[in-house]
Copies of this chain bind each other. A is one copy, B any other.
């Protein structure tokens, strides 16, 4: 196995994780979570999303959260923005990195934003132009890269085309997401391989949901393919509104445990990360989805 020597974890719990939790979480809890995460050694923490509160009430407090966190030097705090209005709101509170989001599945885009893939990407163009002018870095998400709840199979060629377009438009990093957690290692690796033929592997990240328990195996396969950026969520928060099964994002603790075991550095203090995840699960009054965290407790 040839593996990267260092992996950067992009912690998506405060946004992708909490967005899909059923209970409404107070802004103060979100702020405390992000500040705790900032002390673990993480270098990228997705803080919130400036989508319309009409669509995602869970994130209506985006401005309050972002203004309230203690931003530390050397840590990226990207925020999701769906359009120029979101970009404006993010900039008003001082965000200097944003993320844009589309899907590799035509059916998913049609159903979620009533637009084709190409049209959905065109909506980002003004955001990307303004970001470039403002010196704001942009991360791009491509979802449904290994399957779609509406159309089933997603052609790899569509994933490649969307990823390349986002890269050409100026995204410094493209996160490839198995939104419904349906993929298995060889398919994940083949998809990444195809994208890496068109976008430098250094500009790619992988984003797995653990719906069918495959996330760590998929990450391992993608590490073997050379990817060195992995999205995950502390305590395995989240879930997918489009898929059955209670499981959300792969738990950051479990990813870091595997990476450490592989001799790959992350710069993260795993014990602090576990503590943060257990703290969060108490706030959410639900069991942590991190098996490493569960195994760390004296009572199991």
Contacting residue for A244 out of B247, B260, B294, CB 8 A: B294
Contact assessment for A254 and B212 in the assembled complex, using a CB-CB cutoff below 8 Å: yes
A44-52, A132-140, A181-189 - the one binding chain B: A181-189
Measured in the bound complex, the distance between the Cα atoms of B217 and A224 in whole Å is 12
Chain A 237-258 interface 0/1 with B at a Cβ cutoff of 8 Å (1 = within):
0000001111100010010011
**In the complex, are the beta carbons of B185 and A261 less than 8 A apart?**
yes
Given contacts A294-B244, A295-B181, contact A213 B254 (CB under 8 A): yes
Q: What residue of chain B has the Cβ atom nearest to residue A210's Cβ?
A: B291
Q: Is the CB of A261 within 8 A of B187?
A: yes
Interface membership of A38, Cβ < 8 A = no
Given contacts A244-B298, A258-B185, A299-B244, A291 and B220 within 8 Å (CB-CB): no
Specify which chain B residues have a CB less than 8 angstroms from the CB of A247 in the assembled complex.
291, 294-295
Complexed CA–CA distance, A216 and B291 (Å): 13
A300 — which chain B residues lie within 8 A by C-beta?
A: 243-246
Q: Is A297 an interface residue (CB 8 A)?
A: yes
With a CB–CB cut-off of 8 A, which chain B residues contact A214? 216, 254, 257-258, 261
Most chain B CB within a 10 A radius of its CB, from A211, A244, A245, A261: A261
Complex: how many Å from CA A290 to CA B161? Answer: 35
Closest to A292 in B: B212
Asked if A221 is at the interface of the complex by the 8 Å CB criterion, the answer is yes
> Which residues of B sit under 8 angstroms from A290, Cβ to Cβ?
213
Inter-chain contact A184/B295, CB cutoff 8 Å? no
Q: Is A291 a contact partner of B244 (Cβ separation < 8 A)? A: no
Contacts A210-B291, A212-B295, A247-B295 supplied; 11 other A-B pairs, CB < 8 Å: A184-B260, A185-B220, A185-B258, A186-B263, A187-B261, A211-B291, A213-B254, A213-B257, A213-B291, A217-B217, A244-B299
